[in-house]
Structure 1
């Protein structure tokens, strides 16, 4: 079946009342395709476990209206040159595909690399402070990672700061919208949205006519969390979308980080609560983030520095051993190179001071290469 045809039936299926992403995928697993769901009889649908008469009647009674809406939406997509990807295509974002409630389809404008190597979501309060915006910008600008994407929601405050920092650093950034493409919220971010499209994308699961209603934003937060390897919260109040995104990211078993703030500051209550309840790791810098994620910077190779350094024979021997073995503990270094524990510890400390190796938990070491 061609993509356009399948997408039409997926849009129609989602447009039926009571059918969400999870139920839709259960139906698709049972009946092989979205088109089959619209062709099957109510009696055959009722044979599927978990599908009651109410749902079957809803699908049967609303299918013509839903298909007409889907056809209209596809006409709009073609007219506006909007790109699409649905759950059953190979290039659907891999991280998002592993989420139980991943959207059936996505619409986007711009250049959206669907499976970048490093994807980070940055979220926070709309009522951000100068401190929060500066911290957000500093984190993003100091990441210096190859094939990096920054994901946020283009709301006021921290979301806007995250997108702006990414644009300034020429880092692709994805703005996940809480409405369809016939709207733009907030309207003040129109100029920013145009810059995002040039190096990134505007992304939504909502149909073109759907407005930026209040209930849409918590729904879109699962996409922000699901697209990302990790979520960073910069300034969050005790309630709000940033905490929802963090909770969703935790439910997806993704890493969550929180920038601490002043005790008693209303914009920091959410961040401090995430840290205090072990729902997020305390984050103070981009270097700290990369260390926790075990990601390497896109900086000039350490090998060049090593070539210009003169090491004594024993130190060179330890260095070469780590180079060949990637990572190992001090006991193995002592046994293999016939070193005493004191000598090995002294050499390793010297290499660490020279910035050539990293000390890892459990008395393990690896090169900074």
Structure 2
């Protein structure tokens, strides 16, 4: 897009009551944002779902003036604009009816042909929640996913930091313009996130900071990803809104179960109980449901002679060699290993081309 194109898209964004859905209808009818401003109002009002009310102040000069000021900010700060019909716009978000007509990006976000998951949850994440989130990202790292979250306290920042630690790309979706960072305590992470991905928002630099912005931001978190994972949540919370939005987009949702008496497990347990989310107990659940395959050459010929296994991996290998396909739990019991440790060992063995996962947490030798 050239500067004139961006200018008129910004101006259309600035018109009250039009919104992203309405703006897309107007652009589809007229061919471009500039053509919308050149078209007569009575013609636009006849478009299905538009009407006169939405167009009351379309012709006001204030929209182009505001757009010129925002475009100046964009240029001065080297911000990239992602238009919903352009090739650089996130592919999965293109399929969301209420996806922003224009996104603003900083950093070095690369989402093309990538495996993308969103990780969300409470801002008051527990120690066990942190440990699960970190382990989840670590064990999914061989699949090289992009980790998306909201850069807020608790689960969000835990997910971003875990991605950086495992050298994965991470994207922070902001509920404000790129001229500020909230919470301020997270300014120390901005440079690292920019170096390992970056930030996305559809809010202008002039946007008034408001709690409702977080709910609007959540549609981007859900829309960017193939799946949304809820780590911990109370009975109500923004992460549950994100899960609902992801469901409305027909995306996979996973929730980590917890004890019924734990207040921060209520939301996740309810998602599972209401069949709004799949139960997540190991990273294999995510990889299997999303049909991810490891980008390694699977060699089956005399693998035991050419692959180096540690002592515990060899125990699992010997058991599967004599017992064919087995459940994760059965492998753990017969090999006298904890389930979480067995899951980790099986992932390592999968990376080495020794085993492969099957539906229902079943594994077999290759």
TM-score if structure 1 supplies the norm length?
0.82
Counterpart of 2:172 (choices 169, 175, 199) is: 175
What is the RMSD of the two structures over their aligned residues, measured on CA atoms?
2.4
Mapped pair 1:14 → 2:13: yes
1:317 is aligned to none
Q: Verify: 1:74 aligned to 2:71, yes or no.
A: yes
- Cα deviation, residue 348, structure 1: 10
Deviations 1:95-114 (A, max 9, x none): 00001101001111111113
Q: Is contact 1:107–1:204 with CA below 8 Å preserved after alignment?
A: yes
Distance (Å, rounded) in 1 between the aligned partners of 2:182 and 2:358: 47
Question: Does the alignment pair 1:292 with 2:289?
Answer: yes
CA contact (8 A) 1:306 1:356 kept: no
Offset of 1:86 from its aligned partner?
A: 0.7
Are 1:183 and 1:211, in contact at CA under 8 Å, matched by a contact in 2?
A: no
**What is the match of residue 40 of structure 2?**
41
Structure 2 stretches of 5 or more lacking a match? 306-319, 332-348
- How much has 1:151 moved relative to structure 2? 0.1
Q: Within 5 A, what are the aligned runs for 1:184-195?
A: 184-195=181-192
- 1:1-369 matches, cutoff 5 A: 2-60=1-59, 62=60, 64-297=61-294, 301-303=297-299, 306-309=301-304, 350=324, 356=355, 358-360=357-359
**2:344 alignment partner in structure 1:** none
Deviation at 1:210, TM superposition (A): 1.6
Other structure's SS at 1:181 match: coil
Answer yes or no: is the 8 Å Cα contact 1:116–1:148 preserved in 2.
Answer: no
SS at match of 1:156: coil
Change (3 A) 1:360 1:134: closer
Which has more radius of gyration? 1
List runs of 5+ in structure 1 lacking aligned partners. 311-345
| 1:7 CA drift (Å) | 1.5
Residue 334 of structure 2 corresponds to none
Matched-pair contact (CA < 8 Å) for 2:22–2:49? no
- Asked if the contact 1:121–1:232 (Cα under 8 Å) also holds between the matched residues in 2, the reply is yes
Displacement of 1:356 in angstroms is 4.3
TM-score normalised by L of structure 2: 0.83
**Take 1:357 and 1:237, find their aligned partners in 2: how far apart are those partners?**
36
